[in-house]
Structure 1
């Protein structure tokens, strides 16, 4: 690979971190380009040319411009690290199921709770807690008998689930009831090349 992938991101975005984490775990050359969300840089040109939806992350890989964190993970794995993908149809279905969990209940539960406290988003605390509790209970039960969520190895689904689960305490959602989930997060953190996301001093993490 003769070039670096540009990653347009915000340092406190878990969606961005999952992309950065995957790149780091696979030692894929990249450079981080910070986007000033506070001052609305993501809603203006030239960023809107990269992503008309006005959201981070976005990667630029040669002539390819890819947005949406889960889409980026699949793209990167297909192109640079296919061992992070499923090896059969059943595993592929499981990977897709947990990518959906990351984009739905995890995004609207622990991620939204953190968004409310860290960024002051106008979101319902009870609803985010309800969704987070459901998602973490399901994951904790699944991980009682599985090392990784979708296969007998880490996949893009594990990367997608990691950040907002690990940083749930920043949204005042405790991980204490979920021993299997906490052990799973430690396994991800032990992978060679792991890089953490910047923590914030709010919620239970303070």
Structure 2
């Protein structure tokens, strides 16, 4: 008789455990988890570096020259002025070279627009039709009778990068030397421009 009395109690307890397990299972079904990565890729920005356009050392007399003021052209594709050559009593010395600009880490196989800016941030023509005044060192100022100027130019206003995002182009131009120079005009003369390449695709 005692054994029969215990059996219903075991059944009730077992049923209670089963119910609790079912409730717990429903709660777990409303929660899930996984993992995800947080990622970023850092890449180099496009850069451009340029070597200077150099007309080298030019030899010329003071005072009035037979041809007056002199304009010497330097094509971007030229390797340099012909050393020992002359033009209007101006003799070409050594040290001339085109300016060479190199683009790195640009977009692959893309045409980039080339533009120039003056030191004041204003635009400068790239076809050799607009000149900038050359400054000078010490007492070599050429403001009287006039200023030395250089009008820079490129062969094309677009440089196309290769499959690695690199490219290059040359800068040439024209230098204008006024007539009737004085001894204080001798010396080094230079100006700085900004060269910009832009991806407009």
Q: Which has the higher helix share?
A: 1
Q: Shared topology, TM-score over 0.5?
A: no
Q: Which has the higher strand share?
A: 2
The structure number with the bigger radius of gyration is 2
* Short-chain TM bin: under 0.3
